[in-house]
Structures are given as C-alpha cells and as structure tokens.
Amino acid sequence: MNLSTPIEEIPRVSPQYQKRLKKFGIKTVQGLLFHFPHRYEDFSNIIPISQIKNNQSCCIQGKILEIRNSRTWKKRMILTQALVQDYNPPAASSQPSLRSGWAPETRAVKVIWFNQPYLIKILKPGDIISLAGKTNMGEDGLYLSNPAYEKISNIQYPISSLTHTGRIVPVYPETEGLSSRWFRFIIRPLLVQLKDKLPDPLPEKIRKEFKLLPISQALWQIHFPTSLNLAKQAQERFSFEELFFIELAVLKQRMKIGSLKAQSIPLNLKALQRFTKSLPFKLTDAQKKSAWQILKDLEKPKPMNRLLEGDVGSGKTVVATLAILNVIKARHQVAFMAPTEILAKQHFKTAWELLKNFNLNIGLLTGKEDKFFSKKLKNEMVEISRKKILEKTKNGEIDVLIGTHALIQDQVRFKNLALVIVDEQHRFGVEQRAKLIQNSKLSRFYRGSRQAGKIENYPIPHLLSMTATPIPRTLALTIYGDLDLSIINELPKGRKKIITRVISPEDRNNAYNFIKKQVKSGRQVFVICPRIEPTNNKQLTINNKNILGWAEAKAVKEEYEKLSKQVFPDLKVGMLHGKLGTKEKEKIMRDFKNKKIDILVSTSVIEVGIDVPNTTVMMIEGTERFGLSQLHQFRGRVGRSKYQSFCFLFTDSPAQKTKQRLKALIDCEDGFALAEKDLKIRGPGDFMGHRQWGIPDLVMNSLKDVFLVEKTRQSAKEILEEDPELKKYPLLQRQLEKFQERIHLE
C-alpha cells in the first residue's frame, strides 16, 4: 500500500464509506492521511473518578459495573446508561477475581450516551474502558455525558496505544456518516504502516534552515500528537510545505510566461493624448500610473501578465480602454471578456461611448446575442448574426470583441489578437490565451503538437485582468504571485462619502420612511438579499458544513412581495436574480436605468459592474451572510453622482463577529484596508470564495501570515534560481507535478 492506493483497497472501508469519502473529495490513501484535524481535545490527563468535578472535561478509566438501555418518558430518545467504577490493579501476589481490583473507598460515576443503543452490544459489564468527555450535574449527582470510549485490556494499557481517549485527541472536519472517531479508526493503522516509508519532498537544507519536522514525524504528530507543542510544529511544517509548493508553482508559471513571445505594441502618444483630452474628467494620479505600467508592458516582446486592482468606481475601465486604443492603433485586435452577459453589454456600451470618435469596429458576442458597432455605419449599433461576427473577427475586421466565456469557444478565431482583458477572473492561463488565437497556423499546431510543449515558438496575447476586489498582500504573493499588480487606490475627485449605517430591527420603519423620501425626490434604491427563494429546510449543507439558520435568510422573492405590497405599495418595485432569463434581466435593468423602477430587489448579481448613477440608497438584508469585501462592493453601486448616497446594513444577528465586521465597514471606506480586515476575520477561503482550489483550511489560515508567506516565497525563489528545472531535486519536481494536479489555481 502507498499514497496513491485508492480508498477501495483500504481494509475496513466499505463501499458505503467509499461513497461518503468521495463526496468529501477523498479518493486515495494520500487524501485520507492529509485530511488533517482542524482542532484537538486534550484528554491526556487521566484522573480518578473520585476527583472529578462538575462541568469538567476529563478522561477516566475504570470497569463497567452495569449497562442498560432505556427510553425517555416521551419515547423520543434512547438513553444508554452505564455505571463505571475506579479500577485499582491488584497486587502481584493476590489472586485476581471479579472484585479483587476494587478498593472500598473508590466511587462509581454514571455515564450516559444519547441515541446509541448499539453500545450495549459493544460494552459489557466487567469491561475495562477509557472514557473522555464532559461532566454534568443531574438529579442523581455527577454524570459523564456522551463521552468518547474505548475498551482496554487493563488499566496499565500504554497511553500511546489509545486512540480516542487518554491523549490529545484529533477532531477532523466531518460530514454526514464520517465522524472524527471513524477517521481516527481508519487513519491510525495507515499511519503505522506508511509513516516511515514516505519520502520527504522538502529538501533537507530547507528543513534545517527553518527547523521543520521531517515528514514521517510531522504526519504522526499532526494526527496523534504527544503534545500540543508538537501538534503545532507539525501544522507549521505542512503549512510551510503547501505554501512552498504554491510559490514554486506560481514562480515557475511566471518564469514560463517570461520566456514566451508576444507582439510588441509601440506607444502611440498622439492617439492616447487625444483620448484623454476627449474625456469629461481628468485621470487621477493612480490611473495615470497604472496606465503607464500597462503601456510599458505592452511594449515588451514578452506577454504582459498584469492584474489591475481598483476600488469600486475607481475608473479601471478607462485605464483598460487606453490599452485597447494603443493596441488597435498598432493594427492588432483585443478580446475583452466579462463574467456575465449584463456586464459584457455594459462594457460594450462603455467602449462604444469612449471610442466612437476613433474609427473603430467593436463587436459583442454573448451566449444569446451579438451586436456590432462600426465606423462605416455612422457610429450606429446594429444586431448581427453569429456567423457574420465570427467571420469579421477571423478576418480582422473587428478591432475589439467583447463578450462572456463565449469568446473562448472553438469557433471564435482572431486574425491578429494581441491583448486579452478579463474582468473579475484573475486566473487566465497561457493555454486559455493561446486558444483565443486560433488562426489556422496555431490551430493546426495545437491539434497536432499539443504534447510537444513548443508553445514558446508562437506569440501569445498580453493579459490584463481587472478586479474590484482588492487583494491582500499575502494572497498577492501566493495565489496571484505570477501576476504583476497595478493598483488604483484613489477615487475620482468630487465623490461624496457614502453614509453607512447599521439598522436595528426597531429602526427598520424609520429606514423605510427615509427610503420613501429619497424615491419621492427622484432617486432610486437597491435592495440586496442573500437568497432567491425562501426554503422550509432549516439545515443546509454547504461545502460539507451544516449551515443553521440559512432558511431564515432574506429571500429576494419574499422581500419583493413584502416591499411591493406592504411597505411601498405606491412605489414601483422590481426584482432581479440569476434564475431569470437573459432578456428578462436586461429588460429589468433597462427599466431601472430608465427610472421605470424605483426600488430594485436583487441577489448579489448586481455585485459586479452594474452602474446606475441615480441610485442613492443601497439597502442590504442579512449582512451577516456576506463578507466585508462583498458588502463594500455592494456599497460601491451607489455614490456615483452628485447626490448624497447611503448604505443601510440590516442584520438580526447578535454575534460579536458580525458587529466587529460591520463596524469595520462603517469606519473604513478604503477597500484595500477592508480586504486585509476581511482576510483576518473570515480567512482566505471564505474571503475569495475559492474553496474549490483544493487548498486545506490549515494552509488557507496560514495565508494570513505575511512573515511565513515571505519566507516560503524566498525559499522557492532561491531553489528556482539555482535550478529552474529542478533537475537536482527530482522528488521535489514529482511532488510539484502532483501538487499542480491537486491544487487548481487557474
């Protein structure tokens, strides 16, 4: 048996458990061994029954005097009750008998398990057991409630042989049918068999430099630690290792991109100056700096790989348009990809408005609709067939093609694509970019020689990715470490501060009255809810975690009914969510922009890019359901005009964490500062919504540690500078390949 052995071949893992493990993402022995505990319970201090106290977590050992099942008076629950008494080993000279080990001064304690009637088939009177749990006070005195248990042969049973009690006990991420007890039961024998046979992927010099445990010791100590200090050291070792491989992967990707070819795009100062003079506003210093970084990258004969970060409303699109114009004036094409059809159409309209005086052809390609804006049609926008727009793109007649993921379909081909811009998709790999240049030469090359690894002989487009979600420093150094960053950290001058308030339940009606006054004065309102429909299910499973109370979260349809019929019957209330058809969504947004709708109730579909300057109130229900960065983006949908804007945060949650987060939002307008706070409060996995990366929670939490991230990055950099192909480290190279299969950063 080895790490790649499938779970089907592991003893005592039945088909039923195999299905559960696969739902949990565990398919091999490696998946099991690297399913780390997320916390520990310290039951290493074994105390006599006579010394236990109320409300105490403890471990005791003794003999079962009796055990039986009974039902509660309502017959809704089965109780398994046992009486366990201290055990004192008999003297060597005495003859062992049933009562020879019991001292008269010792006392017994009652033990209760709930709804586990099968225990009386496992535990019998006379059995010596070890129990770990919490004590409670009942009518008959102290009792041990629902403790972990394991049978032992005698009271001198070695502590190191215990699994569930009498030691520091690991508690694992669980799901239905897969308990921590089951994981301990399965993982321990695998560790015994394999821990000394595992090669260590970390080079010895790195382990020594950072005083990291060797893998065999670390793997044992993270699952069955002999002390909490050793458990911490094991966690540090695996956190370092995972971060080290992330850094190796992104730095190798950076090196690969640096070795590839791209079209060099000369700087066309005349066209760029004409463009900036045509704008009805002046660029901010941050916009100018970011634009210059991008334009200088485009001059290089290697592909740009840059992420443009900017707070909501900071003017990223104008900066991107400068790059678009420069590329087109060099007689090359641009592809602009947006995450939704609504946003793609908004970018199409914006590009048309900004570039209509520069004699360009702009196309729109989405899943359901195609449009064309042509200099030959007197700056008119017309609908066009899919066949025609594909033909024009292939012939180079379309300068900028804007669309959704429809852009990377096989039938979309460019004649001379030099720049790809992607909005809110930070990862866009080399092969995805190459797929966009499917002219006949490259297309044939890809079909016939994809495995040959000769992509470096062909130019690939420059990449500019844009995001309104500021990325904290640790994530910028790891997950996005292959991207260069340009940051727009200032808003256009003249913007009024958005007044943000947390609205308590008793102030709800006052907020409604204020909203009514805003609408009567000609303004409009967004209302955001975390769900589309109400549900009767009181417990849902998300990411293998039970989320209680989600049923109580405000639902769009429910809120729409309430606001339109009860609260604002005299106002025009609309509803928008992701389940609506494209044309229906477009009509709703068009009506909202044209002031045919006063209040728009929506899900987070409006989070990215929606721009309605007349909207002055952002009302968010269930704010505890959203992260700080997401709430900040919602807030950024208002405050885009000369009118004072407001953001009202509604929550019924009394949790201190919720209060802490909302206070941070009120106190801070800087999206970058909020991103750092959000990272610390929620953790990287929830912050970026990237649980799907496959990075364990243990390592995700380490992404908060700037010092650790910088250490691993420096180590990875030194290794690659010394040996870019890792030829001196074949084990490291193999593990990196396996790591890249497991962790999907693109």
- Whether the domain at 45-160 and the domain at 325-462 fall into the same CATH topology: no
Q: Which pLDDT band, with edges at 50, 70 and 90, does 707 fall under?
A: confident
For residue 264, the model assigns a pLDDT of 95
Say if residue 443's pLDDT is above 50: no
Number of other CB atoms surrounding residue 215 within 10 Å: 20
For residue 687, the model assigns a pLDDT of 53
Phi, psi of 703, deg, nearest 5:
-70, -5
Do 3 and 31 touch, CB atoms closer than 8 A? no
Q: Which pLDDT band, with edges at 50, 70 and 90, does 669 fall under?
A: confident
Of 79-88, 120-129, 672-681, which has the strongest mean pLDDT?
Answer: 120-129
For residue 118, the model assigns a pLDDT of 93
What is the tens place of the pLDDT at every residue in 720-746? 999 999 999 999 998 888 887 766 555
Say if residue 712's pLDDT is above 80: yes
DSSP state letter for 555:
B
Q: In the chain, what are the domain boundaries? A: 45-160, 325-462, 499-668
Phi, psi of 234, deg, nearest 5:
-65, -40
Q: Which residue has the higher pLDDT, 447 or 642?
A: 642
What is the tens place of the pLDDT at every residue in 587-609? 888 899 899 999 999 887 765 55
What is the tens place of the pLDDT at every residue in 80-91? 999 999 876 444
Do 617 and 523 touch, CB atoms closer than 8 A? yes
Topology at the third CATH level for domain 45-160: OB fold (Dihydrolipoamide Acetyltransferase, E2P) (2.40.50)
Give the sheet arrangement for strand 573-576, strand by strand.
Answer: 499-503, 646-650, 615-620, 524-528, 599-602, 573-576
Do 337 and 404 touch, CB atoms closer than 8 A? yes
Phi, psi of 740, deg, nearest 5:
-70, -25
For residue 292, the model assigns a pLDDT of 97
Say if residue 373's pLDDT is above 80: no
Residues, the chain, total? 746
For residue 436, the model assigns a pLDDT of 65
For residue 691, the model assigns a pLDDT of 44
Location of structure tokens 């009514």:
516
Say if residue 535's pLDDT is above 60: no
What is the tens place of the pLDDT at every residue in 376-419? 555 566 778 888 888 998 899 999 999 888 888 778 888 899 99
Mean pLDDT of the 42-50 span: 88
Q: Round to whole Å and give the CA distance between 219 and 10.
A: 18
Do 398 and 365 touch, CB atoms closer than 8 A? no
For residue 276, the model assigns a pLDDT of 94
The token pair that represents 470 in the structure block: 């500021």
Q: Which residue has the higher pLDDT, 705 or 192?
A: 192
Candidates 430, 445, 437; CA nearest to 413 is 437
- All residues at 6 or more sequence positions from 659 whose CB lies less than 8 Å from its CB, including other chains: none
What is the tens place of the pLDDT at every residue in 148-166? 999 987 776 666 788 999 9
Q: Which residue has the higher pLDDT, 622 or 583?
A: 622
Mean pLDDT of the 464-480 span: 80
Determine the angle formed by the axes of helices 628-635 and 656-667, rounding to 10 degrees: 40
Phi, psi of 421, deg, nearest 5:
-115, 130
Mean pLDDT of the 12-26 span: 90
For residue 533, the model assigns a pLDDT of 61
Topology at the third CATH level for domain 325-462: Rossmann fold (3.40.50)
Q: Which pLDDT band, with edges at 50, 70 and 90, does 432 fall under?
A: low
Candidates 611, 668, 600; CA nearest to 641 is 611
Q: Round to whole Å and give the CA distance between 207 and 718.
A: 14
DSSP helix/strand/coil, 207: helix
Phi, psi of 79, deg, nearest 5:
-105, 130
- All residues at 6 or more sequence positions from 426 whose CB lies less than 8 Å from its CB, including other chains: 307, 465, 467, 471, 480, 483
DSSP helix/strand/coil, 342: helix
Percent of the chain with pLDDT strictly greater than 90: 42
The token pair that represents 323 in the structure block: 């790059």
What is the tens place of the pLDDT at every residue in 483-528? 888 988 887 776 788 899 998 888 999 999 999 999 999 999 999 9
Average per-residue pLDDT in the chain? 82
CATH superfamily for 499-668 is: P-loop containing nucleotide triphosphate hydrolases (3.40.50.300)
Do 52 and 84 touch, CB atoms closer than 8 A? no
For residue 372, the model assigns a pLDDT of 74
For residue 29, the model assigns a pLDDT of 93
- Out of 96-110, 214-228, 333-347, least confident range: 96-110
Say if residue 455's pLDDT is above 60: no
For residue 459, the model assigns a pLDDT of 82
Mean pLDDT of the 61-88 span: 86
